[in-house]
Structure 1
Amino acid sequence: MIDISSSSNKYQISHEQIFYRSQIISEETLGRIKSNIGELLSINNFFLANKNRHNALSFIRQNVSSTNLVYRVLFEIKIPSDYKFQKQRPVIDVTQFSSDEYTTLFFIGSIFRINTVIFDINNDCWIIELTLYDERTNEDFSQVFAFLNEHHTPITLANLLRRICPNSAKQFYKHLLKENSDSSSRLECYRGLGLCSYSCEDYEQALIYFEKALEMEPDDPLIKSSLHNSIGIVYAQQDNIDQAQTHFSQALKYSSLPLHIACAHYNLALIYGKQCLFDEELDHYQEAFEIRTNQLPSNHLQIASLFNNIGIAYSNLNEYDKALSNLRKALEMRLKLLPENHIDVARSYANIGAVYVKTEEFRMALEYFNKAQLLFENQQPIPEEDIQQINQNIKIVNEKLQ
């Protein structure tokens, strides 16, 4: 915490500076921003931006396509030369923790004035110009900022740092463990260390930290559920199927939030699929599907993923009509929600082709395999395993057609 805070002390400006952040937003959110030009916008999460406009535009052009449901936007954030940094440090230079140059963090609750919203034809995205708002100009926000000051805890900062640089976050969590005797804070530190280790693919160490957190016997059932889920994920990554199943079952037992319950069902379905227990796999996918369709928008990518996996489960049970119906729904949703060259679109084509092989409709299978192959070959980085599998499938189908 000392290192991060001290960096903000050095962050002073003598002239206007501009930072850029690219992302996608929903049609509804874009509409609200456009209809409130001149008004104020507050963010409800940490907000990372940097000074390189070209990199921000390149990232969004390469990774995200606009659709009728989501839009590409570039936020241009101005910090006026007369802006005085506040006690709660809403702006922090975190370049040392990031792989990008001149990276800046805007804190939860930072407020901006919406200046303009313009569509850039050349870059095929919306440009949203914001100015960091000086709270000193309006006392109405004093209570809001007082609340935010009280809730910026070291654990909050450690959790943020984990998203930027897991290795640095590890040191921060370890420092907090030495400084804290409070059991809930120590539990969060062990959990954070486990997540850092997992993201660095150090699965054995991740298990040690997650188990330490669980040994502290958290009172909150949701925390227990989350820890069991994390442990299950690590065991699944290690192909320790029995242990993964045990912990996912415990995650399901302790969870009371619908989407957490759906996540546990989904993970159990994956485990049963690996065991070739396809009836049980399908049951858990359908449980997850029922919950997520009630809790999420109908066009959510998690729904598409469930259609895809339910389709594969039906295929494994030799119920090919149901398999194709679900796989086509997954493909339709992915084409609407993702760039048309996205790897998940390619995998949807491949999955449909695999069902047509089972029904011995080889020309249809070849058509879908060819579409998948074209998309796989244009991915960066190249998905070697997917390409190897699709080439093998195409070879088999061509032999059947001869």
Structure 2
Amino acid sequence: MALTTTSPRERMTLARVAARSVALLSDDEKRAALTSIADAIEADTDAITAANSEDLQRGAGSGLSTALLDRLKLDATRVHALADAVREIAALPDPVGRVLDERVMANGVTLTKVAVPFGVIGSIYEARPNVTVDIAALALRSGNAVVLRGGTAAELTNAALITAMRGALASCGIDPEAVQTVDEFGREGARELMHARGLVDVLVPRGSAQLIETVVTESSVPVIETGAGIVHILLDATAREDWAREIVVNAKVQRPSVCNAVETVLVHRDAAARLVPGVVADLQAAGVTVHGDSVVATLAPDVVPAEEADWMTEYLSLDVSMKIVENLDEALAHIRSYSTHHTESIITDDAASAARFLAEVDSAVVMVNTSTRFTDGGEFGFGAEVGISTQKLHARGPMGLAELTSTKWLVRGAGQVRL
């Protein structure tokens, strides 16, 4: 169903109105709506992939990076995966109406704290058409309307996806204005969305560090900050070599363009001679360029000298930085200095080192003996995610349905007055 309004504010106003009816949908109605959306996306695969091909062609011509082109790409397989993710969200328990606290006052008044929808959720993101579907589906499942600004690079793809979703809502008798986009208004649409306090309840940015910083600093709408992923893996003194090699390669190579891919590998000096040659060889065999310090360069061939900037770089490519640290204390200090508080992992056979790492690393997700690629809403069982929150208020880590609800207190009395 096409969008017809002529200004961002009109669309956000329509979303605000639609949010009232969406909030009252039953669990079954929301499940049916999402199932219809999944079916519509699959039925429109040809139109979606054709639009995406045009976006990819324009993106390549404008110099879009390999990482962003990978995120932008939607082939038939990825379209079907999007539809499947919507069905998974539909199958999740309804987060609305959950009783979070319950008590009775001394005078007999009963108090019940329940989960309720935010109302209207906004999102600003770059070249990620999967986010268009994920956020819309999560918003609707949690009883919210959504306003999206997906960026010029994915404008045609996003338009095709939004048309499919709005049509599916209309076919279910649900107000299609619950899914809105301000893409066609460009940067002005983004500015209007950031300043739509009173129309939009919360704004979630996803993308580059620059985009996120812009939204956080300029928005008058409350923001849930999702951060860049300067992700670390520490190979401790007791790290098993097979685990070190397999986990580091998986964390870097499986999908290097995403925020949970490892960007810096720290190696305990006592394990350096044992681990560095094999880990570097496996990375290089997978096409990775290793940016290493002087010790790494003496232990492995064809290492690019690392500079200070490497420790603060989210490559989003087949590049990784590697540094030798004297001990766990130095590793923790390095992570404190350079981490974006997204995900960090330690590979170790030492229970005390693992316990210290878990306790002292201040990131949204902290791991022991596993790949950082598991920081993901789908992997955590959320069906999909709004993003990885790196802030500490309200939500932290992969954000699913529960994080798209607020709370209210229901107070029931029988004529009581305060004395």
Structure possessing the higher radius of gyration over alpha carbons = 1
- Identify the structure with bigger relative contact order (alpha carbons < 8 Å, sequence gap 6+): 2
**Same-fold call, TM > 0.5?**
no
More helix by share: 1
Range of TM-score over shorter length: under 0.3
User: Which structure features the higher share of strand residues?
Assistant: 2
Q: TM-score, normalised by structure 1?
A: 0.27
